[in-house]
Amino acid sequence: MPNSPNIRLVVVDDHPLFVRGLQLLLPVTTDGRVTVVESTGDASAAASLVGRCLPDLVLVDLHMPPPGGIRAVAAIRRTTPRVRIVAMSGSDDPAPALEALRAGAEGFLPKSSEPEELMPPLLAILDGWAVLPAALLRNLLRPPRAPAVDLDDEERRLLRAISAGRPTVEIAAELHVSERTVKRMTAALLRKLRVSSRTEAAAVAGHAGLLGE
């Protein structure tokens, strides 16, 4: 990759050994194409540091002392919008990675990545691509699991009626209650299913098999 651009990198991480390892190994493993120009272990100082250095890329560890890596990502994105941000973590939990992407990171890489493995994803991010490990991408794309809900017989009857698209007046007649009571019961059922509409309730019910006799 003789024509690859030189990449100026800022590292936001409170683990000195990890940062020092990147400083030593990245220039060697990338033939000098990646250089760590500055680093900080203080998440609150990250945005101002990036603003002064104006690097090509910023690596941000998500698990840092308050205000934390995700807040650092958001601050960098707000103050230096053209800088590319790559979140990193030593955890397998996908939730912080997703939060970092929402805060403005263009990619996520595990901290277990070897220095020589970093060059291709960093170049891809500079070219405008979003980069995620395959396992994390599969996790993010997996349909959310329906909540485990224990419904009594009356709630199941109500849910079946809602899922069939029956109007409130018909449901009231079937359950031998008033329309007002049906509305109250429906509101309670939606809260129990953790959804906000009848349509969502029907979807959750079908996905979780809650409509069986």
76 in the same domain as 99:
yes
The per-residue pLDDT string of the chain (213 residues; one tens digit each, 9 = 90 and over) reads 445 568 999 999 999 999 999 999 999 988 889 999 999 999 999 999 999 999 999 999 999 999 999 999 999 999 999 999 999 998 878 888 889 999 999 999 998 888 888 889 999 999 989 898 877 777 666 655 555 667 888 888 899 888 888 899 999 999 999 999 999 999 999 888 888 888 888 877 776 666 654
Does residue 104 lie within any of the structural domains?
A: yes
d(C-alpha 175, C-alpha 166), whole Å: 12
Tokens 């493993």 identify what position?
29
42 in the same domain as 79:
yes
Q: Provide the residue range defining the domain that includes 76.
A: 7-141
Q: What's the angle, vertex CA 201, arms to CA 197 and CA 206, rounded to 5?
A: 150
User: Pick from 141, 175, 191: which residue ends a domain?
Assistant: 141
Does residue 146 lie within any of the structural domains?
A: no
Does residue 213 lie within any of the structural domains?
A: no
173 in the same domain as 105:
no
Please count the structural domains in the chain: 2
What 8-state DSSP symbol labels residue 131? B
Does residue 194 lie within any of the structural domains?
A: yes
118 in the same domain as 53:
yes
User: Pick from 90, 117, 141: which residue ends a domain?
Assistant: 141
Q: What is the CATH number of the domain that holds 166?
A: 1.10.10.10
- Nearest Cα residue to 100 out of 124, 132, 65: 132
What 8-state DSSP symbol labels residue 210? T
- Nearest Cα residue to 18 out of 99, 89, 76: 89
166 in the same domain as 135:
no
> What pTM, to 2 d.p., does this model score?
0.65
In contact, 47 and 35? CB cutoff 8 Å: no
Q: What is the CATH number of the domain that holds 67?
A: 3.40.50.2300
Does residue 148 lie within any of the structural domains?
A: no
Residue 99, exposed/middle/buried by CB under 10 A (0-12, 13-18, 19+)?
Answer: middle
185 in the same domain as 86:
no
